[in-house]
């Protein structure tokens, strides 16, 4: 199989594109080593690839490291670096999901497989994992979601299952931690449910799809304000914003995509900004107002890719950078917020990012494609 053995990128002033020999789906930023990213392939074969790249924000360069690329069974459904590893260590812990949850150590010049977490002791078959989330408050915990309707909470330090819950009536598609012992999940049964490990017999349904059995695909919990989370529905152009204090009724619905939404990510440095991406080739950045207008909420800026965007991530270590994945490309976009950095406004147009002086020119980023 062809590997990424040399630098392959195109760049503009505020964006850079990496082109892989394989289709890309999973992406991850290292929170403690800002220059490090991971990419997972999506090949309809058993053997897939995970590549580790380094990003230099000064030179806008992305460089793969062939010695850090490794084979992965099946396409990884998610990649995630250890949320609080020491930046003094050059190595990183990387978790991946697919057939099983796996843990890898990424060193300077090699990658070592550390652990495979398998809770099926009696069968040679496993229920595929759709996603997982690493608890950033108690990082010994990783929660996984599976098509077998369960969520499993692993103690990765002891390599044991802390608990396994039948979380939903149908497949569970995503999971997200809110607090050390509180997580939420979404499912093909169309519900968002919150679980507390201190009371495993009960869960709270905070939202259900308006149309019965419309699956919810992704869930993002606002780390800057845990009262809010976001979810997306299958084959829908909506991003649904929820307030856990007001179950069942969304506080906002973001409806400016012209195709199905595939990915969402809250800003790691702001409680009021969220990004979304979808089949309409658009990546949109939204600022949530205190009070939504009757005509709905417009995104503050947009980016147009060359094809459907499958994945989006917002860097916690470098919060002015967002990664999107489409086809066999991963693009990093530099974002600037007028309310956070008041001297600039941002406009994404046809793959190029332009920064304008906010007080020199009036720009409506949404209407300037």
pLDDT in tens, the chain (369 residues): 334 333 445 556 789 999 999 999 999 999 999 999 999 999 999 999 999 999 999 999 999 999 999 999 999 999 999 999 776 677 999 999 999 999 999 999 999 999 999 988 776 778 999 999 999 999 999 999 999 999 999 999 999 999 999 999 999 999 999 999 999 999 999 999 999 999 999 999 999 999 888 999 999 999 999 999 999 999 999 999 999 999 989 999 999 999 999 999 999 999 999 999 999 999 999 999 877 666 789 999 999 999 999 999 999 999 999 999 999 999 999 986 554 433 223 333 333 333 322 222 222 334 333
Q: In angstroms, rounded to a whole number, what is the distance separating the alpha carbons of residues 38 and 30?
A: 8
> For residues 80 and 49, what is the distance between their CA atoms, to the nearest angstrom?
15
Whole-number Å distance between alpha carbons of 49 and 91: 20
Written as six digits, the tokens of 338 are 């007028």
pLDDT given for residue 42 in this prediction: 98
Q: Give the pLDDT of residue 123.
A: 67
Q: Please tell me the distance from the alpha carbon of residue 78 to that of residue 72, in angstroms, as a whole number.
A: 12
Instruction: Report yes or no: 234 and 214 within 8 Å, Cβ to Cβ.
Output: yes
**Quick one: CATH architecture of 15-334?**
7 Propeller (2.130)
């Amino acid at each position: 199989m062809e590997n990424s053995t040399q630098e392959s990128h195109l760049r503009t002033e505020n964006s850079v594109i990496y082109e892989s020999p394989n289709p890309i789906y999973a992406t991850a930023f290292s929170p403690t080593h800002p220059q490090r990213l991971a990419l997972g392939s999506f090949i309809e074969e058993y053997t897939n690839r995970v590549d580790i790249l380094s990003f230099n924000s000064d030179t806008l360069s992305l460089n793969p490291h062939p010695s850090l690329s490794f084979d992965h069974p099946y396409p990884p459904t998610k990649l995630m670096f250890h949320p609080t590893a020491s930046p003094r260590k050059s190595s990183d812990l990387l978790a991946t999901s697919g057939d099983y949850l796996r843990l890898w150590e990424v060193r300077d010049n090699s990658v070592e497989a550390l652990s495979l977490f398998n809770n099926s002791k009696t069968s040679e078959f496993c229920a595929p994992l759709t996603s997982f989330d690493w608890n950033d408050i108690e990082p010994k915990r990783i929660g996984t979601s599976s098509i077998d309707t369960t969520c499993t909470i692993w103690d990765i330090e002891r390599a044991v299952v802390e608990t396994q819950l039948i979380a939903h009536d149908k497949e569970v598609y995503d999971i997200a931690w809110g607090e050390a012992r509180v997580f939420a999940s979404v499912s093909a049964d169309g519900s968002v449910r919150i679980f507390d490990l201190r009371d495993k017999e009960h869960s709270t349904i905070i939202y259900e799809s308006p149309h019965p059995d419309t699956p919810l695909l992704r869930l993002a919990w606002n780390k800057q304000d845990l009262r809010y989370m976001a979810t997306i529905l299958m084959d829908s152009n909506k991003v649904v914003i929820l307030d856990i204090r007001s179950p069942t009724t969304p506080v906002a619905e973001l409806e400016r995509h012209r195709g199905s939404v595939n990915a969402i990510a809250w800003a790691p440095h702001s409680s009021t900004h969220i990004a979304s991406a979808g089949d309409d080739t658009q990546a949109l950045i939204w600022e949530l107002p205190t009070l939504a207008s009757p005509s709905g909420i417009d995104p503050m800026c947009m980016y147009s890719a060359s094809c459907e965007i499958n994945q989006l991530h917002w860097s916690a270590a470098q919060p002015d950078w967002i990664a999107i994945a489409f086809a066999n490309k991963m693009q990093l976009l530099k974002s600037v917020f007028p309310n956070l950095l008041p001297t600039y406004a941002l406009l994404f147009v046809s793959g190029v990012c332009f920064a304008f002086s906010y007080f020199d020119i009036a720009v409506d980023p949404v209407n300037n494609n």
